[in-house]
Structure 1
Amino acid sequence: MKWLLLAWKNLGRNRRRTLATLLLTAVAVLGMMTLSGFALYTYESLKESSMRQEGQVILSHPEYFQREENLTLELGLADVQTLQADLQRDAGIRRTVARINFEGLISNGEKSTIFMGQGVEPEVFQLQGSQMQLQQGSLLSLQQNPEAFPEVLLGKRLAESLNAVPGTGLTLLGTTAEGVLNALDVDVRGIVSTGIPELDARLVLVHLDSAQQLLVTDKVSQLGVYLQDFSEDQWYFQELQQRYPALGVTSWEDRAVFYQSVRNLYNRIFGVMSVILLVMVVFAIFNTASMSVMERTREIGTLAAMGTRQREILGLFVLEAGLIGLLGSLLGLLLAGALSFSLYQGEVMMPPPPGQTEGYPLYIYWSAQLALLSSLSVTLLAVVSSALATFRGVRKPVVEALNHV
Structure 2
Amino acid sequence: MNARWLKFAWLNTLRNRRRSTVTAGIAALGTAAILLAGGFALFTYQGLAQISARTTGHLIVARPAQFERDEDTPLQFGLDDVATVRARLLADPDVRHVLPRVEFTGLISNGDKSTVMMAAGIDPDAEFAVKGPFLKVSAGDVLQGKEHGKVMLGEGLARSLKATPGSGLTLLASTTEGALNALDVTVQGVFSTGVPDLDKRLVYTDVATAQKLIVTTRVSSLGVFLRSMEATDPARLRIAAAMPELAVQTWLDQATFYRSVKALYNRIFGALGLIIGVIVVFVVTNAMAMAIIERTREIGTLRAMGTLPGQLTRSFALEGMVLGGAGALLGAALALAVSVALLVFPVEMPPPPGRSNGYPLQVVMDPALYAATLAAMVALSMLASAWVARRTVNRPVVDALAHV
Q: What TM-score range do you get, normalising by the shorter chain?
A: over 0.9
Aligned to 1:377: 376
TM-score, with normalisation over the residues of structure 1? 0.97
1:18-33 alignment runs, 5 A limit: 18-33=20-35
Q: Give the C-alpha shift of residue 289 in structure 1.
A: 1.0
Matched, 1:137 2:136: no
Unmatched runs of 5 consecutive residues or more in structure 1? none
CA-CA distance at 1:44 after TM superposition: 0.8
Displacement of 1:317: 1.2
Distance (Å, rounded) in 2 between the aligned partners of 1:358 and 1:51:
19
State the distance in 1 between where 2:11 and 2:91 align.
68
The residue number in structure 2 matching 1:315 is 314
Query: When the two structures are aligned, how many residues end up with a matched partner?
Result: 401
2:298 aligns to what?
A: 299
Shift of 1:91: 3.2
In the alignment, which residue of structure 2 is the partner of 1:58?
60
Find the residue that maps to 2:67 and give its secondary structure. coil
Runs of 4+ in 1 over 3 A off after TM superposition: none
Alpha-carbon RMSD: 1.0
Are 1:345 and 2:344 an aligned pair?
Answer: yes
Q: Which amino acid aligns with 1:79?
A: D
1:127 corresponds to which of 130, 135, 144: 130
Give, in angstroms, the shift of residue 394 of structure 1: 1.0
Spell out, residue by residue over 1:292-335, the C-alpha distance to the aligned partner (whole angstroms, 9 max, x if none).
Answer: 11101111111112222222222211111110111111001000
Q: What residue is the counterpart of 1:212 in the other structure?
A: 211
Q: Distance in 1 between matches of 2:298 and 2:227?
A: 67
Corresponding residue SS for 2:134: coil
Q: What is the match of residue 102 of structure 2?
A: 100
How many angstroms apart in 1 are the aligned matches of 2:240 and 2:214? 29
Alignment partner, residue 366 of structure 1: 365
Superposed displacement of residue 113, structure 1: 0.8
**1:287 and 2:286 matched:** yes
CA distance in 2, matches of 1:87, 1:373: 40
Question: CA deviation digits over 1:71-124, x for unaligned, max 9?
Answer: 111111111111112222333211100001101111111111111100000111
Aligned position for 2:92: 90
Aligned twin of 2:179: 180
User: Does the 8 A contact of 2:30 with 2:276 survive in 1?
Assistant: yes
Deviation string, structure 1 residues 18-39 (Cα, Å, up to 9, x no partner): 0110011111111110111011
Distance 1:203 1:191 in 2: 10
2-structure distance, mates of 1:286, 1:90: 58
1:129 partner SS: helix
Q: Deviations over 1:1-26 (max 9, x none)?
A: 22211111111111111011001111
**Superposition deviation, residue 68 in structure 1:** 1.1
Look up the match of 1:402: 401
Look up the SS of the partner of 1:22 in the other structure.
helix
1:164 aligned residue: 163
Q: Which amino acid aligns with 1:142?
A: G
Identity of aligned residues (%): 44
Offset of residue 142 of structure 1: 2.5
Question: Secondary structure at 1:136's aligned position in 2?
Answer: strand
TM-score under structure 2 length normalisation: 0.97
Q: Which secondary structure does the structure 1 equivalent of 2:234 belong to?
A: helix
Whole-Å Cα distance in 1 between the matches of residues 297 and 385 of structure 2? 19
Match of 1:111 among 90, 101, 113: 113
Structure 1 residue aligned with 2:78: 76
Cα separation, 2, equivalents of 1:277 and 1:166: 54
